[in-house]
Amino acid sequence: MTRLTVTTSWDDGHRHDTLVADMLRQHGLAGTFYIAPDNVEIAPADRLSATAVRDLSADFEIGSHTLSHPVLTRVPRPRAEREITDSKKVIEDLVGKPVTTFCYPRGMYAPEHVDMVARAGYTYARTVRTLATGIADNPLEAPTSLETGRFARQRMVVDVVRAARVVGSTSLVRTGRWDDIAIALFDRCRATGGVYHLWGHSWVVSDRAEWARLDRVLAHIGGRPEVTYAVNGALGRG
Ligand SMILES: [Zn+2]
């Protein structure tokens, strides 16, 4: 089994998501945008408008990232449940289609939150774990392959060792250049098959002025006839 599936996901519902969407279209990639309609960490003027979300939903999957982007482990249980359950309904009303994917804010959750996600009817939930290149053991705790722009924070010794094994190069991992690492990891996955899941935040790409790096990576991983391009939700439907 050497078939490779490539998916991407983009968190938070920032207005710059439309720029990411343009790049995904240009390079023949699929993607899921995780929206928190009342994200308190993004100024209202910087959030995707309702119209923009609907436009995105024509070509991409829209998933829930809660209503207001709380860290689920730091809010009372009933609040967490509302954030998970009500956001599904709010976003479904917005885009006019079922919302089956969820993303835990900051990747923070406990087993009870996985249960809430299942009860709400989601079939796939993404975490922030990286360096995975296979099908998730549990689609409600799905790991990813790499985060755009954020490799530097993984440079503790244990992470370098693990990353070097997955990426296939210690020296490359030590550079911390996420775009080079993303491309090297993709090239390995082309040989082994599995799932390559690149994710990030459009506002981080913008803050770091890394649009050219992102474009370089998306151009490399997109539009390949031997690769299956899928939205996140397709990975939860087994
Ligand atoms: Zn987020």
> Domain with 31 in it: what CATH number?
3.20.20.370
Q: How confident is the model at residue 171 (pLDDT cuts 50, 70, 90)?
A: confident
Is the torsion defined by CA of 145, 150, 154, 155 positive or negative? positive
Whole-number Å distance, alpha carbon 17 to ligand 1 midpoint, is: 13
pLDDT given at position 160: 79
pLDDT given at position 204: 94
Whole-number Å distance, alpha carbon 225 to ligand 1 midpoint, is: 32
pLDDT given at position 141: 98
Domain annotation covers residue 173: no
Domain annotation covers residue 69: yes
Whole-number Å distance, alpha carbon 184 to ligand 1 midpoint, is: 26
pLDDT given at position 173: 85
pLDDT given at position 187: 96
Pairwise pLDDT comparison (238 vs 163), residue with the higher score: 163
Domain annotation covers residue 217: yes
Number of domains composing the chain: 1
Domain annotation covers residue 174: no
Q: At what angle do helices 211-221 and 178-192 cross, to 10 degrees?
A: 10
Quick check: 126 pLDDT over 60? yes
Whole-number Å distance, alpha carbon 189 to ligand 1 midpoint, is: 26
Whole-number Å distance, alpha carbon 65 to ligand 1 midpoint, is: 7
Domain annotation covers residue 67: yes
CA distance readout (Å), 20 to 41, 88, 102, 191: 19, 23, 19, 27
The 10s digit of each residue's pLDDT in 59-81 is: 999 999 999 999 999 999 999 99
Whole-number Å distance, alpha carbon 230 to ligand 1 midpoint, is: 21
Start-to-end CA span in the chain (Å)? 16
pLDDT given at position 161: 83
Dihedral pair phi/psi, residue 191, rounded to 5°: -80, -35
Whole-number Å distance, alpha carbon 74 to ligand 1 midpoint, is: 15
- Domain containing 128 equals 4-150+193-236
Instruction: Of 31-45, 94-108, 149-163, give the lowest mean pLDDT range.
Output: 149-163
Domain annotation covers residue 185: no
Whole-number Å distance, alpha carbon 86 to ligand 1 midpoint, is: 17
pLDDT given at position 152: 56
Whole-number Å distance, alpha carbon 131 to ligand 1 midpoint, is: 19
pLDDT given at position 146: 92
Domain annotation covers residue 169: no
Whole-number Å distance, alpha carbon 192 to ligand 1 midpoint, is: 30
Whole-number Å distance, alpha carbon 181 to ligand 1 midpoint, is: 23
pLDDT given at position 170: 87
pLDDT given at position 154: 52
Quick check: 1 pLDDT over 60? no
Whole-number Å distance, alpha carbon 105 to ligand 1 midpoint, is: 5
Is the torsion defined by CA of 166, 172, 175, 177 positive or negative? negative
- What type of residue sits at position 128? V
Averaged pLDDT of the chain: 94
Q: How confident is the model at residue 158 (pLDDT cuts 50, 70, 90)?
A: low
